[in-house]
Amino acid sequence: MGVLNVTPDSFSDGGRWLDPAIAVAHGTRMHRDGADIVDVGGESTRPGAQRISIDEELDRVVPVVAGLVAASVPVSVDTMRPGVAQAALDAGACLVNDVSGGRADDGMLPWLATVDVPYIAMHWRGPSDVMASLATYDDVVAEVVAELQQRLDALSEAGVDLARVVVDPGIGFAKEADHNWMLLRELAQIQALGHPVLVGASRKRFLGSLLADGSGQPRPVEQRDYATDAITALAAGAGAWGVRVHDVRGGRDAVAVAAAWRAGQQI
């Protein structure tokens, strides 16, 4: 899954793809480079980010979704709002990626029951402006698994067919670095929920701190792709359904290596 943030303020690619034509060109390039799907988001979720209005989100997202669909690129929409998700589906998107797992908007789950598309439910504890204060766990893996299970139960109660639900541990969302590493180490426990698992670690802050220089300066965002590729290879090797990355070429190579490694032959 290639990341396409049509926002002024996302931590990695904020401001680069605000012009719809440039965004569509970049998304098309990611698809050509091997992204199976391009994930279009109009609202930044970086730590501390403020919410934007639905009109602003629609203005950012819909033209880009439509442009990519016109170029035959499979598109997912990264949104917490059912109104934006519906508009994106109307424009041809084929998957809904909700970082709040339906918790940010009470209308998401009832709406989801009325459509028939795959849905990614990410582990989320609260909006970006407060999530840092919610990163408290006794046992991060057990709690994330339990909270994802609650989302699956809520989805089922709302009438959503669970066969179309992907789960995501929400790397970096109300998580400190060691929470992220523990969740990655124990990915099998997320997979034991019985759903495909998406991992979104690309260029995130915990990679910056892992690769800090001698004086403790974090590795800059644009120099975190090799580490991201290592996570992709390990996640794919562990059987993740998908990875959400900015640099698709490196990610694709990492997936190819993991697939050959698992198969014991070139495939």
Question: Applying CB under 6 A, does 171 fall inside the site for ligand PMM?
Answer: yes
Q: Which of 75, 77, 91, 122 binds ligand PMM (CB under 6 A)?
A: 122
Task: Print the SS3 string covering the chain.
Answer: CEEEECCCCCCCCCCCCCCHHHHHHHHHHHHHCCCCCEEEECCCCCCCCCCCCHHHHHHHHHHHHHHHHHCCCCEEEECCCHHHHHHHHHCCCCEEEECCCCCCCCCHHHHHCCCCCCEEEECCCCCCCCHHHHCCCCCHHHHHHHHHHHHHHHHHHCCCCHHHEEEECCCCCCCCHHHHHHHHHCHHHHHCCCCCEEECCCCCHHHHHHCCCCCCCCCCHHHCHHHHHHHHHHHHHCCCCEECECCHHHHHHHHHHHHHHHHCCCC
Q: Which of 43, 57, 105, 168 binds ligand PMM (CB under 6 A)?
A: 168
Closest approach of Cβ 178 to ligand PMM, in Å?
Answer: 17
Comparing CB distances to ligand PMM, the nearer of 111 and 124 is 124
Q: How many residues bind ligand PMM (CB under 6 A)?
A: 20
Comparing CB distances to ligand PMM, the nearer of 44 and 215 is 44
Comparing CB distances to ligand PMM, the nearer of 80 and 258 is 80
Task: Tell me which of 60, 204, 224, 252 is the catalytic residue.
Answer: 204
Question: Applying CB under 6 A, does 243 fall inside the site for ligand PMM?
Answer: no
Active site residue 244: yes
Site for ligand PMM in 74-103 (CB under 6 A): 78, 97, 99
Active site residue 175: no
Q: Which of 151, 175, 195, 244 binds ligand PMM (CB under 6 A)?
A: 244
Question: Applying CB under 6 A, does 10 fall inside the site for ligand PMM?
Answer: yes
Binding site for ligand PMM (CB under 6 A): 3, 5, 10-12, 41, 45-46, 78, 97, 99, 120, 122, 168, 170-171, 198, 200, 202, 244
State the catalytic residues: 204, 244
